[in-house]
Copies of this chain bind each other. A is one copy, B any other.
Amino acid sequence: MNAPTPSAIKPDLLEALRALLGNRVSTSESDRAQHGRDESRHPVHLPDAVCRALSTDEVSAIVTLCATHDTPLVAYGAGSSLEGALIPVKGGVSLDLTGMNQILAVRPEDLDATVQAGVTRKQLNAHLRDTGLFFPIDPGADATIGGMAATRASGTNAVRYGTMRENVVSLTVVLADGRIIRTRSRAKKSSAGYDLTGLFVGQEGTLGIITEVTVRLYGIPEVMAAAICPFPTVEAAVTTVIQTIQMGIPISRVELMDDRAIEAVNAYSKLTLPVTPTLFFEFAGSQSAVEEQAGIVEEIARGEGATGWTWSTDADERAKLWQARHDIHWALRALRPGARGWGTDVCVPISALAEVIRAVREETSQQSFSTSLVGHVGDGNFHLGMQIDPDDPDEWARANAINDRMVKHAIALGGTCTGEHGVGIGKRKFMREEHGEAIEVMRLIKDALDPKGILNPGKVLPD
């Protein structure tokens, strides 16, 4: 990890920020250290100052000051980025939005809610508890909704409810010159001009700072059921998922863990699951709908050679069935204490999923470090977890080569270098290969909206 960079913020800017924010500006070593790292493998870089904003107007004033002083800034939420999106690689200001944690409106009739960017997904769902509604997008971390919008995040529910792309109705955004816009009305659909909501979802703070988010809500299903289902091969599991989706069965979740992931969780959580590729299902709806869905999927799975099918609608039983999936993050860490985790993700057309997974498993089978695959397999998206010795440059080099080959393979088969983790620092080098000439359109947009290049420089677009 790099040494902390010395604070280099311009005195005039610091003075102006202090006049605006008082003690919500900090240049302390500890504040800067906290805002210089995320959950990724990428090296720490410290911001020169941390600013804590409490309103869109304050964000606008901060951005205006940074623009005047040609000083970079990057927004900070839960700190849970997996590709370095929040690391201030060019220094400048880390704009901490966690104080913007107000739920501004919940509108049950319209099935939407408006929140400040620093509200976390669990906070919103706790707030919704008595309404019978919920917000489905669930990346692993308790991320902020602003950060999730900026990353175009998703998670296990995406197979049924879509990603942040489909679930953000409208955004309030502060532009690079401090102007404030709202990207869209709250109408459910619109043909009125360019899709600015779509443009700012997934831009990782490089085109504007998201300060408020209106998201879609859904009714909590009457009944939920969980099932686990072991297969002889990854291919058989994937074929089961393809058939399930083709038949239009509205599964809530379907997750794949490979034999190595199952082995890790058996050890960590003292389970006795068969060590073989396993699908975890969740169904939701009325009692009869759930029973019918589960019956059809069991039949498909048995036809593909599934060697078991355990299911339940009871809440405690469901939690037990999914325990392996819930514990995988910790189980992987426990595989190799002291190692640094590298979680990378790709997403491919589902017809290519078994082939990409097969190739990765072959590559990783003989490594000195432990690896495992966990996938949101209904979307063709999976995560490769690698536990690397932080002091072994050879392991890092081999992990890097595995990641490179997996991503290039995914792109060659019609897929993308990241399904949900974002580009940040780590996936920039694949952007040209994936997008070709379209990268130039992204750059035209970046230059038009952020001509000084102060918004999260060094991210998303390749040099």
Identify the A interface with B (CB < 8 A): 107-112, 132-133, 151-154, 158, 162-163, 165-166, 175, 179-199, 201-203, 207, 218-219, 221, 242, 245-248, 250, 285-286, 288-289, 292, 347-351, 379-381, 410-411, 414-423, 427, 430-431, 434-442, 444-445, 447-449, 460-461
Can you give 10 A-B contacts (C-beta < 8 A)? A110-B350, A166-B166, A186-B415, A187-B410, A187-B419, A191-B419, A193-B423, A194-B460, A198-B198, A444-B448
Which of B191, B198, B435, B436 makes the CB contact (< 8 A) with A153?
B191
Which of B179, B182, B193, B442 makes the CB contact (< 8 A) with A193?
B442
Which of B185, B191, B199 makes the CB contact (< 8 A) with A198?
B199
Complex contact B440–A179 (CB within 8 A): yes
Which of B112, B181, B439 makes the CB contact (< 8 A) with A437?
B181
Distance A366 CA – B247 CA, assembled complex (angstroms): 51
Min CB–CB distance A89 → chain B (angstroms): 18
Given A199-B194, A415-B185, check contact A242 B442 (CB 8 Å): no
Min CB–CB distance A9 → chain B (angstroms): 29
Distance A285 CA – B292 CA, assembled complex (angstroms): 11
Distance A448 CA – B194 CA, assembled complex (angstroms): 14
Q: Which 9 pairs, one residue from A and one from B, show the smallest C-beta to C-beta distance?
A: A198-B198, A190-B416, A109-B351, A448-B448, A187-B347, A181-B438, A219-B248, A187-B416, A110-B349
Complex contact A194–B202 (CB within 8 A): yes
Given A185-B416, A246-B111, A286-B292, check contact A202 B196 (CB 8 Å): no
Complex contact A154–B416 (CB within 8 A): no
A422 partner residues in chain B, CB cutoff 8 A: 191
A192 partner residues in chain B, CB cutoff 8 A: 416-418, 423, 427, 430-431, 434-435
Complex contact B187–A349 (CB within 8 A): yes
Known A166-B166, A191-B422, A196-B438; further 14 A-B contacts with Cβ < 8 A: A175-B441, A179-B440, A187-B349, A191-B202, A192-B416, A192-B417, A192-B434, A192-B435, A193-B423, A194-B460, A195-B201, A286-B292, A288-B288, A289-B292
Count of chain copies? 2
A109 partner residues in chain B, CB cutoff 8 A: 242, 246, 349-351
Complex contact A193–B414 (CB within 8 A): no
Min CB–CB distance A351 → chain B (angstroms): 4
- Closest residue of chain B to A438 (Cβ to Cβ) is B181
Which of B154, B193, B202 makes the CB contact (< 8 A) with A461?
B193
Distance A192 CA – B203 CA, assembled complex (angstroms): 9
Which of B158, B187, B245 makes the CB contact (< 8 A) with A348?
B187
A288 partner residues in chain B, CB cutoff 8 A: 288-289, 292
Complex contact A347–B189 (CB within 8 A): yes
Distance A455 CA – B317 CA, assembled complex (angstroms): 59
Distance A201 CA – B183 CA, assembled complex (angstroms): 16
Distance A379 CA – B186 CA, assembled complex (angstroms): 11
A420 partner residues in chain B, CB cutoff 8 A: 189, 191
Distance A381 CA – B185 CA, assembled complex (angstroms): 13
